[in-house]
Chains A and B, each alone.
Chain A
Amino acid sequence: MTANTQADPVLDVRDLELTFTAGGRGLKLLDGVSFQVRRGETLGLVGESGSGKSMSALSIMGFVGRNRSQSLAGSIRYQGTELIGLPDKQYRRLRGNRIAMVFQEPMTSLDPSFTIGSQIAEGIRLHQGVSRDAAMKRVVEVLDLVRIPSAAQRLKSYPHEFSGGMRQRVLIAMALANNPEFIIADEPTTALDVSIQAQILELLKTLQADLGLSLLFITHNMGVVADICDRVAVMYAGQIVEEGHVLDVFREPRHPYSERLLAAMPRLDATGDLQWIPGSPPDVDARPHGCRFAPRCHLAAEECAEPQELLVIGRGRASRCWRSTSTLPEVAR
Chain B
Amino acid sequence: MNQELLLSADDLSVAFTAKRAGRSQRVHALRGVTLQLHRGETVGIVGESGSGKSTFARALMRLIPIEGGRIELAGEEVGGMSTRRFRKHRRRIQMVFQDPYSSLDPSMRVGDSIAEPLKVHTGLSRGEREERVADLLEKVGLPRAAAERHPEEFSGGQRQRIAIARAISVEPDILVCDEAVSALDVSTQNQIIALLEELRGISGLSYLFISHDLAVVRHISDRVVVMYLGQIIEEGPTERVYSSFAHPYTQALLAAIPIPDPVAQRGRSALIARGDLPDPANPPSGCAFRTRCPFAMEICAQQEPVATRVEGGGSVRCHLQTSGPQLGGRPLGALMASAGDAASTGGNEGVDDR
Residues of A within 8 A of B (CB): 48-49, 147, 149, 163-166, 193-199, 201-203, 205-206, 209, 220-227, 246-247, 250, 260-262, 264-269, 271, 274-277, 280
State whether A202 touches B350 (Cβ < 8 A): yes
Residues of B within 8 A of A (CB): 48-49, 155-157, 185-191, 193-194, 212-216, 218-219, 242, 252-266, 270, 272-273, 276-277, 348-352, 354
Tell me the bound Cα distance from A187 to B354 in angstroms: 21
State whether A149 touches B348 (Cβ < 8 A): yes
State whether A261 touches B252 (Cβ < 8 A): no
Residue on A with the closest CB to B350? A206
State whether B258 touches A221 (Cβ < 8 A): yes
Give the residue of B186, B212, B266, B270 whose beta carbon is less than 8 angstroms from that of A220: B186
Give the residue of B155, B194, B259 whose beta carbon is less than 8 angstroms from that of A269: B259
Residue on A with the closest CB to B279? A163
Residue on B with the closest CB to A191? B49
In the complex with contacts A166-B276, A271-B218, A274-B193, A224-B253 CB distance below 8 A: no
Tell me the bound Cα distance from A260 to B188 in angstroms: 12
Question: At the interface, is chain A mostly helix, strand, loop or mixed?
Answer: helix
Chosen A-B contacts, 9 in total, with CB atoms closer than 8 Å, are: A48-B186, A165-B276, A196-B48, A199-B349, A201-B258, A209-B352, A220-B186, A267-B259, A276-B194
State whether A262 touches B260 (Cβ < 8 A): yes
User: Which chain B positions have C-beta within 8 A of A266?
Assistant: 186, 189-190, 213, 215-216, 218-219
Tell me the bound Cα distance from A62 to B270 in angstroms: 37
User: Which chain B positions have C-beta within 8 A of A163?
Assistant: 276-277
Question: Which of A209, A260, A276 has the largest count of B CB atoms less than 10 A from its CB?
Answer: A276
Tell me the bound Cα distance from A219 to B43 in angstroms: 29
State whether B48 touches A195 (Cβ < 8 A): yes
In the complex with contacts A149-B348, A163-B277, A202-B349, A275-B190 CB distance below 8 A: yes
A65, chain B: closest CB distance, angstroms = 25
Tell me the bound Cα distance from A154 to B255 in angstroms: 30
A269, chain B: closest CB distance, angstroms = 7
State whether B272 touches A198 (Cβ < 8 A): yes
Give the residue of B155, B265, B266, B352 whose beta carbon is less than 8 angstroms from that of A206: B352
Question: Which of B49, B185, B276, B277 has the largest count of A CB atoms less than 10 A from its CB?
Answer: B185
State whether A195 touches B352 (Cβ < 8 A): no
Give the residue of A149, A201, A206, A250 whose beta carbon is less than 8 angstroms from that of B261: A250
A156, chain B: closest CB distance, angstroms = 15
User: Which chain B positions have C-beta within 8 A of A280?
Assistant: 155, 157, 188
Tell me the bound Cα distance from A232 to B4 in angstroms: 50
